[in-house]
Every structure is written in structure tokens, then in C-alpha cells.
Amino acid sequence: MNKCPCCETTGKVVSALTVESLVAASRYEEYESREGFRFCPEPSCEVVYFKQGSRDEALVLTKWDLKVRVGVKERTSPRPVCYCFDHTIEEIQDEVARTGDSVILGDIREKCRQGLDRCEMANPKGSCCLGDVAKAIKDAKKEAGILSDDSKEPGHDCCGSGTDVSSLKDGSADVSSAHNRKAAGETPAVPSWTMAGSLLTAILASACCWLPLLSVALGFSAGGAGAVFERYRFPLLAISCIFLAAGFYFLYLRKGKCAEGSACAVPNRKTKTMSHVSFWAAAILIGAFALFPNYVGAFIGGDSADLPADVTEYASFVTLSIEGMTCEACASNISRLLANENGVVRVEIDYDKSIARIWYVGTDTPELIRAIESLGYGANHVD
């Protein structure tokens, strides 16, 4: 049902927040849901909100059910036109009669720039009031003889797009305040999918390094899994950069449709600051994960310091090639494992050459190879 059951005028959908904020609780609680109501803009109709019920009956809420006066449907003073900042049609008419113009429109725009508007909760239409205010000023000027009936002024809708308010049936912009800002040029918050995608792929790109560390901490083998992630490290990093670039585009490069100097051309400063802080905080975190394999060696311990240095006189020696090491964290894991093996007296892991030098007593090479393979890495004797 998109037409008012009383006057057959097409209505615009309003949010449940608008209905809950403005309709007396005793009335809207009769209905199962506040979703799906439409606003009837016809001045002569007392219906404000309507929708089709679950049993195909028409559910209506009249102006008598609201906690505020619906200016477009009133014929006596006061007739509200701006609900966020308490301006009326009579106030505009008086100002135009005294000065020939009205500063109310500019005042509202300035307050909108500061993020003080709350149209969705205050305006029965659930949308920005600037179109209504502009139309009220224009009508007041005609009434005062300042404008002729065929004169036209640039529109003053929320987006500042130059829409001629006289072309709108009730002079209002057919979009909500929040939607106006999003579509019309307010600096947008960075879409969450860009940051989530970039962070996730950066984490996966560094999994080749942190996964082996996690495996040791939790007591399971993940060396092989680390090697798998190593093969896809650079493609994952490329995808992460694409997501991050998309976030940068939305924050800095995307051009809005808002006219310069209009209400939505300047964003809420707090929103703008939070968007920038969130983006760069996420970018730093993404960079930390992406570069993790390059600096992890500075934070992990090397060979056990308490092992004897001179063991060549009484210990056997073997060099093993290691497969699957993706960063110095892997080398540290293998070194710690071998150092705790019975009979091993000294271990040196050369990550750059992918080899392990091991001095041992009372064990043998196959045992050492099996120990390394238990972590998920491959090991072979080097002649």
C-alpha cells in the first residue's frame, strides 16, 4: 500500500524511529511493527502515517495521534516548519514582512553543518526540513509582494542541488537527512568492507609467520600450513592494498554532489575526524601485519644461550636442509624444539640458507628429522 487510504495521495516511507519518536506510545503499541509506515503529504487529509496491516486492513495514524503539530496539515498558528530548531511558518512570514527576507534558512544550514539536526526523530516526514523552509520563505515573499507568482528562486533542498522547491508537491526533499548527507557530499565514513577486507587479507598474508608461533603456544603442528600461506603471501598483500586503496578513495577522492555552501557540503567535524583517525589506525595495523615476517626476528629469541659453546670434541654433527621455513619465527620454533630434544647439545638455524646445524650425543639423525617433521616442516640430510 503506497497510497493513503483516505485521500489516495502517494506517501513516502518513513523509518520506525520516526514513528516511535513522534507517535504517542499508546497508539503505535497497538501495532505489531512500526516498520513500513508511509507519510501522507496531503494538507487537507488528517492521516499522517498509513500502511497495510497483516490482514490486509489499512492501518492509519492521524495528526491527533502525534506528539507534535504537523505543520503541513495545520491551518492555525503555530505551524511548525523546522522541527529540529523550532521555527514556524508564522515566524518566517513576520521576518519577511519586516526585513524583506529571512535568515532562518542560513541559520539552519549552519546548525546542520555542526551536526545538530535530528530530522529523522523530530520531523514527521522523517526527512530534512530545508525544502519546506525554502518554500515557506518563497510563499512569504509572494504574500508580501516581493516575488511575483511566476518568479522562481533556486531551490534549497538538503543537498543544495538547486532543485526548484516549487516542483515538489509539499516543498520537501524526498530523502531523509542522513541519506542526504551520504548522497550529497558530506565526507563519508570509510566503508567497513574496505577496512575489514584489507585487514583480513593482511593477517592471512602474515599467517606464514605467526601461525607457526601460535602452533608452538597451543601445542599443535602448523609448519606446513605456514608454508601454504607463504605461497599466497604476495597475492594476499596485493588484495589488501586494493582494499586499502578503496578506503582511501572513499575518504579523500570521491566527490560529493553537494553544492558548495549548502547545508550538507560541510560534514560534521567529529564524524570527519573519526573517519580519518579510523582509516589511518587501520592502515597502520594492516602495515604491521603485512610486514610482520620482516621484523619478527627482532622480538623472538634465538638459540638457547645455556648450551655449551665448544662441543666439537665429544658430540656428533649433522647438517639438515629445512623445507617450509617462511620467516625467522619458523627458525626459532625449530631451534627451540631441537634444543629440548634428548641428546641435542647445540643448534644453529640459518634461515637464509634454510639449514640447521645440530650437535648431538646419544641420539641419531633420523630422530632429529622426525622431530622437525612433527612441526610440519620437511628435513633432509645434507652430505
In order of start, what are the domains of the chain with their CATH numbers? 1-67 (2.20.25.270), 77-184 (no CATH), 192-298 (no CATH), 316-381 (3.30.70.100)
Residue 199 Cα to chain centre, angstroms: 13
Q: pLDDT tens, 196-207?
A: 888 888 888 777
Q: How many CB atoms lie within 10 A of CB 310?
A: 9
137 or 293, which is more confident: 137
CB 67 within 8 A of CB 52: no
- pLDDT value for 161: 38
Query: Does residue 357 contact residue 319 with C-beta atoms inside 8 Å?
Result: yes
Assess whether pLDDT exceeds 80 at residue 371. yes
- pLDDT category at 43 given cuts 50, 70, 90 is very high
Beta bridge partner(s), residue 49: 39, 61
Q: Choose between 307 and 336: higher pLDDT.
A: 336
Q: Which of 266 and 72 is assigned the larger pLDDT?
A: 72
- For range 253-280, the mean pLDDT: 63
CB 184 within 8 A of CB 161: yes
Give this prediction's pTM. 0.45
User: In the prediction, which pLDDT does 288 show?
Assistant: 86
- Model confidence pLDDT, tens digit, residues 103-134: 999 999 888 888 788 888 999 999 888 889 99
Q: How far is 126 from 175, CA to CA, in rounded Å?
A: 8
What is the Cα–Cα distance from 81 to 167, expressed in whole angstroms? Answer: 18
Highest mean pLDDT among 147-156, 303-312, 316-325: 316-325
Cis, peptide link before residue 78, omega less than 30° from 0: yes
pLDDT at residue 1 greater than cutoff 50: yes
Which of 13-17, 56-60, 219-223 has the lowest average pLDDT?
Answer: 219-223
pLDDT bracket for residue 9 (50, 70, 90): very high
SS (H, E, C) the chain: CCECCCCCCECEECCHHHHHHHECHHHHCCCCCCCCCEECCCCCCCEEEEEECCCCCEEEEEHHHECCCCHHHCCCCCCEEECCCCEEHHHHHHHHHHHCCCCHHHHHHHHHHCCCCCHHHHCCCCCCCHHHHHHHHHHHHHHCCCCCCCCCCCCCCCCCCCCCHHHCCCCCCCCCHHHHHHHHCCCCCCCHHHHHHHHHHHHHHCHHHHHHHHHHHHCCCCHHHHHHHHHCHHHHHHHHHHHHHHHHHHHHHCCCCCCCCCCCCCCCHHHHHHHHHHHHHHHHHHHHHHCHHHHHHHCCCCCCCCCCCCCCCCCEEEEEEEECCCCHHHHHHHHHHHHCCCCEEEEEEECCCCEEEEEECCCCHHHHHHHHHCCCCEEEECC
pLDDT tens readout for residues 226-243: 666 767 778 888 898 899
pLDDT at residue 36 above 90?
no
Determine how β-strand 378-381 pairs with β-strand 344-350: unpaired
Question: Over the stretch 175-226, which tens digit does the pLDDT of each residue have?
Answer: 344 444 443 344 455 678 888 888 888 888 777 777 766 765 665 555 555 6
Cα(383)–Cα(367) distance, integer angstroms: 17
